[in-house]
Amino acid sequence: MDTPISEPAPPRVAPVAGDGVSPPVVPDSVPVLTTLPGSAPLSLILGGFLALLLSAWAGIVPFIGPSFGFSADGTASWTWNLVHALGAVVPGAVGLLACLGIVVTARRLTGTLDARRLVGAGFLTFLCGAWFASVPVVWPVLVGSYFHAASPSLTLDYWMGLAIGPGVLLAAFGAFAMGRAGRESHENS
């Protein structure tokens, strides 16, 4: 008695582009990325660390920048004045602490993220970014000049390295952290 031997099925051949037939979507073949239980959100940790470094840069660059030719107001290295204090040190220190708060909050287990802390730290980071971006515009109106006269390319460097660049990036990360907090509170409810 002969038993039929099943032959292996022929391999599936994907349709060639342009033949008008789209390949079938098999639900089991679509990769799904899931967060492992107990893992921390890497985007918040990495972004928080990078924003922390950016806050430190923006807070310290008026003091160390003149040593390598990057002095937006024409002062020497380690010159303490009101422009440096209110335009860089205060928002840099607050941004540094807020980003540290985001990193510490994000290192908790995913299901236990405290949305209120994340929103608070994200909002502070957003405000620091707005502060960095707006001080060069507001300072001349209230007190006096913020940047000294320089070539157009050097003025652009000052705006991008001291004000708008760090400001926009910090504000964007603060908004991202607040959005992530809303997502976490929605998933945990």
Give the tens place of pLDDT for each residue, 102-111.
Answer: 998 887 755 5
Give the tens place of pLDDT for each residue, 145-172.
Answer: 888 888 999 999 999 999 999 999 999 9
Give the tens place of pLDDT for each residue, 85-98.
Answer: 999 999 999 999 99
Q: Is 51 exposed, middle or buried (0-12, 13-18, 19+ CB in 10 A)?
A: buried
pLDDT at 106: 84
The size of the chain, in residues, is 189
Tell me if 98 sits within 8 A of 59, measured CB to CB.
Answer: no
Cα angle for residues 42, 48, 54 (degrees, 5° grid): 140
| Rounded Cα distance, 12 and 17, in Å | 15
| Rounded Cα distance, 9 and 27, in Å | 20
